[in-house]
């Protein structure tokens, strides 16, 4: 995989594995600290009626901190443990080109409901990534949300987030 | 072929084998009703679809569909969901062989010989071999479950909280001992799962833990959301990075090819037997289907007469991983049903389903919910037969689905995941959390953090905590309760052996090398 990386354009530039390794381990360490402190807050010892609420999570937090510290130190000081490029810029752009639209899609659900957002999301994705002609984009991006609408709202009676358009047709 | 086949000595109960047989026949009468057969068929078809599509797999496919089954009778629901699992196991092989893209992690090893076979015009043969050996692996595992599960359940009826905690400890320590990743990362992933499971209302004391005053976190982190994000969104991000272009080989399966392949399969009975044993072992201990398939491939390669030809299109190289993967996937349900400890992420999701339907998994299930347990076990027999027939007859259609460009499949899968995440609790926050878990899944996969222990910890967290607490209550805080009798002591001892296995195996290697400096050729694993 690394051999491929080096033949690609601009592949040597990118985020190093070491940096990502350290950041992820540090975040996990932080979460371990959260678990420890919150367990101390609710009581991590022995109450009148047995173990307190923080008894178990306290030790979980301790082990979490120890394990992530181990990973962090290994990544920081060992040469071969975290070598190479985590993701080249080119690949990062590809990943973000899926993630950012997905994020916008999820935020859009809050305002226009899941069905309209899905139609726009699928259509936009097909336009930007697949370079499909509109004659293909429009049917696909409509069929999926409409069949979902029938499946969930009509047959299974499971309500999903809806927006102004659905309100117009009485849902 | 309904219940009337059952022999009249049902009340005698003297012989254990007969008892199991009777229960199984009763199970068949449950599983063979029209609507359960229909659910089975729907489950298999959905499962194969899920197995074929990248980004949707057994675990998150079942997770997405779980909320739709809340209103169904539990037996029908688990039959459908477990059939999705069988279907996904079958489906993974199709993409591996025809497209060289493993639809599921456990079918990676199938690509090694399956795709070369397909490229030389033997696609039908490879697919038939894969499906048939999957079927054989699953069948042996189901037979094992039929006769072993009641014994394990009966044995574990004697278990108290310390024994249960010891078994859970063994489960999690096995991840460290058997896993391929670095122990620190395995432990981190696992503990992260436990920490997330602890968030929310503590059911014993009623205290709020790690909610920081928010009402949204009151419910805690639902493992279904984590599964959908980690395996679904994470997988899509990874697939996108690889910039996949689906270029496949056309395949036609006709009865002549199937017959021709079946005729040569018995030759490889030893390979299949080894693979089944590996699979059953890895399924019961939480190794899971993926390592089982790799291990089985490696061992088949070492023992085969034509081992050096592996990788160029040997049928044995398809049989070995497929048999093991299916055997492991199936036998993962044994510890789930009998001890309440799932052997794989998908089994973990099914276990979560049991809890939601109000069934307590564990030894009592075999006493109190006979119809449910035996209906499920019977459905495994039927489901795998139905699955085999379906995949053998419908391969071209599934291959056609993969010819749909990724730029259509990807957004549709994201939409399906979002709906699945929303329907768990009807909460938008869950959809946002799904994205967060998606990023976590992407980072963890790339950094070699194992996802399975995290998911299992998230599912089992509450159970492990309560058995730990109960043990502590029994012993008034003395940890020595975990070696207070032979049973709990030996389970804990085994757990410690597993936990320190990476260190022990390194020491052993060191000693061996110290004794014999000339023996440098030994491969270091």
Give yes or no for residue B7 having a pLDDT over 70. Answer: no
CA distance A164 to chain B (A): 17
Burial code of B342-362, b = ≥16 C-beta within 10 A, e = fewer?
bbbbbbbbbbbbbebbebebb
Distance CA A53, CA B202 (A): 7
B315: number of CA atoms within 13 Å, CB side? Answer: 22
C-beta atoms of A53 and B67 within 8 A? no
pLDDT-based confidence at B516, cuts 50/70/90? low
Is residue B402 within 8 A of residue B52, CB to CB? The reply is: yes
Q: What is the pLDDT of residue B286?
A: 64
Answer whether B429 touches A (CB < 8 Å): no
Distance CA B475, CA B469 (A): 10
Burial code of B462-474, b = ≥16 C-beta within 10 A, e = fewer?
bbbbbbbbbbbee
Is residue B356 within 8 A of residue B70, CB to CB? The reply is: yes
Q: What is the pLDDT of residue B309?
A: 78
Give the DSSP letter of residue A88.
E
Question: Measuring CA to CA, which residue among B495, B454, B452 is closest to residue B165?
Answer: B495
Distance CA B282, CA A47 (A): 41
DSSP β-bridge partners for residue A88: A14
Length of chain B: 525
For B211, the token pair is 């909610």
CA distance B331 to chain A (A): 30
Answer whether B80 touches A (CB < 8 Å): no
Task: Give the tens place of pLDDT for each residue, A110-160.
Answer: 888 899 999 999 999 888 888 888 888 888 889 989 988 888 888 777 788
Pairing of β A50-51 and β A46-47: antiparallel
Is residue B398 within 8 A of residue B91, CB to CB? The reply is: yes
List C-alpha distances in Å: B345 to B101, B148, B457.
21, 22, 10
Answer whether A119 touches B (CB < 8 Å): no
Contacts of A39 in chain B (CB under 8 A): 209
Q: Please give the share of chain A, as a percent, with pLDDT higher than 70.
A: 91
Tokens 């039959």 belong to residue: B79
Contacts of B205 in chain A (CB under 8 A): 47, 52-53
Judgement on whether residues A118 and A134 belong to the same structural domain of the protein: yes
- Domain edge (last residue) among A46, A65, A83: A83
Judgement on whether residues A124 and A95 belong to the same structural domain of the protein: yes
Give the pLDDT mean for B294-309: 80
C-beta atoms of B207 and A126 within 8 A? no
Judgement on whether residues A160 and A100 belong to the same structural domain of the protein: yes
Q: What angle do CA A85, A14, B239 make, to 5 degrees?
A: 75
C-beta atoms of A52 and B236 within 8 A? no
pLDDT-based confidence at B519, cuts 50/70/90? very low
Question: Measuring CA to CA, which residue among B41, B79, B90, B53 is closest to residue B388?
Answer: B90
C-beta atoms of B185 and A106 within 8 A? no
Answer whether A15 touches B (CB < 8 Å): no
Domain of residue A111 covers 90-168
Give helix B123-156 / helix B269-284 axis angle, nearest 10°.
Answer: 40
- Best mutation site among A85, A98, A100, A136 for testing chain B: the one with the most B CBs within 10 Å? A98
Q: In what helix (H) or strand (E) does residue A46 lie, and over which residues does it extend?
A: strand A46-47
Give the pLDDT mean for A23-49: 86
Give yes or no for residue B8 having a pLDDT over 70. Answer: no
C-beta atoms of B195 and A126 within 8 A? no
Judgement on whether residues A78 and A123 belong to the same structural domain of the protein: no
Give yes or no for residue B194 having a pLDDT over 60. Answer: yes
Higher pLDDT, B253 or A40: A40
Distance CA B329, CA B163 (A): 25
Per the prediction, chain A carries an average pLDDT of 83
DSSP β-bridge partners for residue A114: none
List C-alpha distances in Å: B514 to B191, B502, B506, B519.
36, 18, 12, 10
Answer whether B511 touches A (CB < 8 Å): no
A-B CB pairs within 8 A amount to: 167
For B23, the token pair is 């229960």
Give yes or no for residue B298 having a pLDDT over 80. Answer: yes
Q: What's B306-343 look like in SS3? A: CHHHCCCCCCHHHHHHHHHHHHHHHHCHHHHHHHCCCC
Judgement on whether residues A71 and A108 belong to the same structural domain of the protein: no
Give yes or no for residue B451 having a pLDDT over 60. Answer: yes
Surface of B (237-276) touching A: CB under 8 A: 237, 240-241, 243
Answer whether B435 touches A (CB < 8 Å): yes
Give yes or no for residue A1 having a pLDDT over 60. Answer: no
- Best mutation site among B419, B450, B472 for testing chain A: the one with the most A CBs within 10 Å? B419
- Domain edge (last residue) among A83, A110, A140: A83
For B113, the token pair is 């010989």
Contacts of A88 in chain B (CB under 8 A): none
Distance CA B396, CA B94 (A): 10
Distance CA B341, CA B164 (A): 10
Contacts of B241 in chain A (CB under 8 A): 87, 91, 94-95
Q: What is the DSSP string of B30-50?
A: HHTSHHHHHHHHHHHHHHHHH
Per the prediction, chain B carries an average pLDDT of 81
Give yes or no for residue B89 having a pLDDT over 90. Answer: no
Q: Name the range with the highest mean pLDDT among B45-54, B98-107, B116-125, B431-440.
A: B431-440
Q: State phi, psi for A165 to the nearest 5 degrees.
A: -65, -45
Judgement on whether residues A136 and A108 belong to the same structural domain of the protein: yes
Q: Cα-atom radius of gyration of chain B, to the nearest Å?
A: 23
C-beta atoms of B188 and A35 within 8 A? no
Judgement on whether residues A69 and A135 belong to the same structural domain of the protein: no
pLDDT-based confidence at B52, cuts 50/70/90? confident
Task: Give the tens place of pLDDT for each residue, A62-98.
Answer: 999 999 999 999 888 877 766 778 888 888 888 888 8
Q: What is the pLDDT of residue B14?
A: 46
Length of chain A: 171
Nearest-by-Cβ selection for A50 from B210, B443, B473: B473
Judgement on whether residues A75 and A115 belong to the same structural domain of the protein: no
Judgement on whether residues A23 and A96 belong to the same structural domain of the protein: no
Higher pLDDT, B17 or B460: B460
C-beta atoms of A64 and B432 within 8 A? no
Is the dihedral angle over the CA atoms B208, B213, B219, B220 positive or is it negative?
negative
Task: Give the tens place of pLDDT for each residue, B147-171.
Answer: 888 888 888 877 888 888 888 888 8
Task: Give the tens place of pLDDT for each residue, B196-253.
Answer: 988 887 777 777 887 777 777 777 788 888 888 888 888 888 888 776 555 666 666 7
For B193, the token pair is 């799962």
Answer whether A4 touches B (CB < 8 Å): no
Question: Measuring CA to CA, which residue among B50, B56, B76, B393 is closest to residue B255?
Answer: B393
* Helices and strands: H and E segment counts in chain B: 23, 2
Judgement on whether residues A14 and A59 belong to the same structural domain of the protein: yes
C-alpha of B222 from chain center: 19
- CB count within 10 Å of CB B444 equals 22
Give yes or no for residue B374 having a pLDDT over 80. Answer: yes
Contacts of B188 in chain A (CB under 8 A): 25, 28, 64, 67-68, 71
How many structural domains does chain A have? 2
Where in chain B are the domains?
A: 11-501
C-beta atoms of B209 and A140 within 8 A? no
Judgement on whether residues A99 and A163 belong to the same structural domain of the protein: yes
Distance CA B353, CA B336 (A): 12
Tokens 């089992």 belong to residue: B460
Give the pLDDT mean for B301-309: 78
CA distance A171 to chain B (A): 17
Task: Give the tens place of pLDDT for each residue, B391-432.
Answer: 888 887 887 777 778 788 888 889 988 988 888 888 888 999
Give the pLDDT mean for B484-506: 84
């Amino acid at each position: 995989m690394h051999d491929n990386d080096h033949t690609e354009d601009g592949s040597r530039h990118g985020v190093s594995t070491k940096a990502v390794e350290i950041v992820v381990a540090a975040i996990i360490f932080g979460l371990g600290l959260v678990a420890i402190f919150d367990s101390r807050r609710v009581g991590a010892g022995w109450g009148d009626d047995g173990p307190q609420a923080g008894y178990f999570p306290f030790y979980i937090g301790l082990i979490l901190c120890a394990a992530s510290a181990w990973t962090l130190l290994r990544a920081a000081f060992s040469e071969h443990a975290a070598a190479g490029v985590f993701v080249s810029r080119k690949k990062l752009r590809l990943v973000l080109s899926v993630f950012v639209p997905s994020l916008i899609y999820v935020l859009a659900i809050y305002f226009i409901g899941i069905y309209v957002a899905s139609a726009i999301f699928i259509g936009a994705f097909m336009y930007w990534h697949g370079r499909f002609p509109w004659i293909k984009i429009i049917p696909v991006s409509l069929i999926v949300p409409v069949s979902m609408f029938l499946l969930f709202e009509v047959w299974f009676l499971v309500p999903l987030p809806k927006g102004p358009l659905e309100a117009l047709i009485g849902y | 072929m309904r219940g009337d086949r059952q022999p009249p000595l049902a009340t005698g109960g003297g012989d254990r084998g007969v008892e199991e047989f009777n229960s199984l026949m009763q199970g068949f009468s449950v599983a063979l009703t029209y609507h359960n057969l229909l659910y089975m068929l729907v489950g298999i078809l959905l499962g194969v679809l899920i197995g074929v599509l990248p980004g949707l797999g057994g675990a998150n496919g079942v997770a997405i569909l779980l909320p739709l089954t809340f209103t169904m009778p539990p037996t029908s629901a688990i039959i459908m969901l477990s059939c999705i699992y069988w279907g996904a196991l079958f489906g993974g092989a199709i993409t591996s062989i025809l497209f060289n893209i493993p639809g599921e992690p456990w079918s990676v090893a199938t690509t090694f010989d399956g795709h070369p076979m397909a490229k030389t015009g033997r696609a039908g043969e490879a697919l038939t071999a894969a499906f048939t050996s999957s079927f054989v692996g699953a069948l042996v595992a189901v037979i094992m479950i039929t006769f072993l599960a009641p014994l394990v359940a009966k044995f574990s009826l004697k278990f108290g909280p310390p024994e249960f905690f010891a078994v859970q400890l063994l489960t999690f320590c096995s991840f460290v001992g058997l896993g391929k990743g670095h122990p620190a990362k395995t432990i981190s992933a696992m503990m992260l799962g436990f920490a997330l499971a602890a968030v929310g209302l503590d059911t014993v004391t009623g205290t709020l833990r790690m909610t920081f005053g928010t009402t949204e976190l009151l419910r805690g982190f639902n493992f279904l959301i984590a599964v959908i994000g980690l395996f679904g969104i994470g997988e899509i991000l990874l697939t996108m990075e690889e910039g996949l272009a689906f270029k496949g080989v056309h395949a036609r399966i006709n009865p002549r090819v199937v017959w021709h392949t079946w005729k040569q399969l018995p030759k490889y009975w030893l390979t299949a037997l080894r693979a089944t044993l590996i699979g059953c072992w890895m399924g019961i201990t939480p190794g899971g289907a993926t390592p089982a398939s790799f291990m089985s491939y490696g061992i088949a390669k070492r023992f085969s007469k034509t081992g050096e030809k592996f990788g160029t299109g040997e049928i044995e190289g398809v049989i070995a991983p497929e048999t093991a993967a299916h055997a492991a996937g199936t036998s993962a349900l044994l510890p789930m049903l009998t001890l309440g400890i799932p052997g794989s992420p998908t089994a973990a999701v099914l276990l979560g389903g049991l809890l939601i339907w109000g069934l307590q998994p564990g030894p009592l299930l075999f006493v109190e919910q006979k119809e449910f347990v035996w209906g499920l076990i019977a459905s495994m027999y039927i489901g795998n037969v139905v699955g085999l027939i379906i995949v053998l007859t419908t391969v071209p259609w599934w291959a056609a689905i993969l010819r749909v460009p990724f730029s259509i499949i990807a957004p549709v899968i994201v939409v399906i995941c979002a709906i699945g995440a929303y329907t768990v609790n009807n909460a938008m926050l869950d959809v946002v959390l799904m994205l967060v878990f998606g990023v976590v899944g992407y980072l963890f996969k790339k950094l070699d953090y194992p996802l399975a222990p995290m998911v299992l910890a998230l599912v089992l967290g509450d159970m492990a905590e309560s058995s730990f607490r109960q043990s502590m209550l029994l012993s008034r805080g003395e940890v020595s309760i975990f070696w207070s009798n032979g049973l709990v002591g030996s389970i804990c001892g085994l757990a410690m052996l597993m936990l320190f296995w990476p260190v022990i195996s390194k020491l052993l290697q060191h000693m061996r090398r110290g004794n014999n400096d000339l023996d440098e050729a030994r491969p270091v694993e």
